[in-house]
Amino acid sequence: MTPATANIPNLQQDIHRAVRDALAEDIGDGDITAQLIPQDREARARVITREDCVFCGRAWVEEVFRQLDPALQVIWHVADGERVTANSTLFELAGNARSILTGERCALNFVQTLSGTATTAAAYAALTQGSDIKILDTRKTIPGLRTAQKYAVLCGGCSNHRIGLYDAFLIKENHIAAAGGIANAVRQAHQIKPGALVEVEVESLDELRQALDAGADVIMLDEFTDEMTAEALQLAKGRAKIEISGSVNEARLQQLSGLAVDYISSGSLTKHLRAIDLSLRLQSDD
């Protein structure tokens, strides 16, 4: 784990739960194929990546084999957040052959998904290198892997938005309509959870002015043109942070990197990931 984990509540508990559930859905009442192997057979295995990536997932691998077989040894060749090239060895396993093969798919599923997330985040972070812009993830994560993907985003060099619905306010169009306007929504937010960050999503410069007057901490500009964004930055200077969201892909990110916005958020960090191609090869210790 890296120091970044301090920003993600319940991560350790979530790792245990996610691994437990993944093993249960895969193994069921027993790995019948592993029973083809003598129970006392010892083996070694090597896991490689078939493509360049930013690695993430050590704690999940260790938890898989801790729950399956605490005697099995994991030998690491990389750390979370490390850039690795194709055909590099990520880690080795040594111990009971049945345990290695039973846990293989669960362990690789976590690594391929989290490394895919970290690799995507690293590509986005590179596009704003040299600026003060922070690229944020969203809640558009794989169900059950919220904190895992949030951690992977940090490993890739981007930052986390709120973890869930409980740690910060994000007041959007429907909230505004149901609460009776931006001013009412922001005022109630400060009353409900004093000290919590209050962010308002706006679709026009008029709504931006309302959010500023109401005392929002962060204002999210939804589908603003570059001209509108420039005016919004002038209006908000010294009063609120500005976040850009909506249709943010790599090409758009390059365009936005020249603007003096504080944050750019993109669901693509976690929902458009492509799993990294990994391979495990077993060698029997005869």
Marked catalytic residue, from 172, 187, 209, 239 = 172
Marked catalytic residue, from 139, 140, 241, 252 = 140
CB 57 within 8 A of CB 49: no
Annotation marks residue 271 as catalytic: no
Marked catalytic residue, from 63, 80, 104, 201 = 201
Annotation marks residue 140 as catalytic: yes
Cα–Cα nearest to 162, from 177, 176, 146: 146
Marked catalytic residue, from 17, 66, 105, 239 = 105
SS3 2: coil
Marked catalytic residue, from 222, 239, 262, 277 = 222
Distance between CA atoms of 118 and 112, rounded to whole angstroms?
A: 10
Pairing of strands 89-96, 278-284: unpaired
Cα–Cα nearest to 265, from 70, 134, 100: 134
SS3 212: helix
DSSP for 54-107? E---HHHHHHHHHHH-TT-EEEES--TT-EE-TT-EEEEEEEEHHHHHHHHHHH
Cα three-residue angle 83-260-141, rounded to 5 degrees: 45
Judged on CB neighbours under 10 Å (0-12, 13-18, 19+), 139 is middle
Please, which residues bridge with residue 44 across strands?
94, 283
Annotation marks residue 105 as catalytic: yes
Catalytic center residues: 105, 140, 172, 201, 222
